[in-house]
Amino acid sequence: MQELYNKLKDFDLNYAIKLEETDRQFIALKSLIEKNENKREVLALVIANSIICYQLSGTWENYWEEFSSYFSDKKISYENVVFLLWEFIKQSKNNKRFVDTKVKRLEKVKFALDWFQWREEYFYQNMTELRDLLAKTMKQKITDKTIVFAVKMFGYVARNIFTFVAYPKEIFIPIDSRLTNLFEKYKWDYSDINKFYMDLSEKMDVTLLHLDWIVWINYEELMK
Active site residues: 145, 176
HSE-up (13 A, CA, CB side) for residue 182? 27
Distance CA 52, CA 61 (A): 15
Distance CA 212, CA 210 (A): 5
Tell how far CA 102 is from the center of its chain.
17
CB 217 within 8 A of CB 19: yes
CB 91 within 8 A of CB 52: no
CB 115 within 8 A of CB 132: no
Phi, psi (deg, nearest 5) at residue 165: -130, 130
54: left (phi over 0), alpha (psi -120 to 50) or beta: beta
Tell how far CA 194 is from the center of its chain.
17
Nearest to 66 by CA among 47, 51, 76, 53: 53
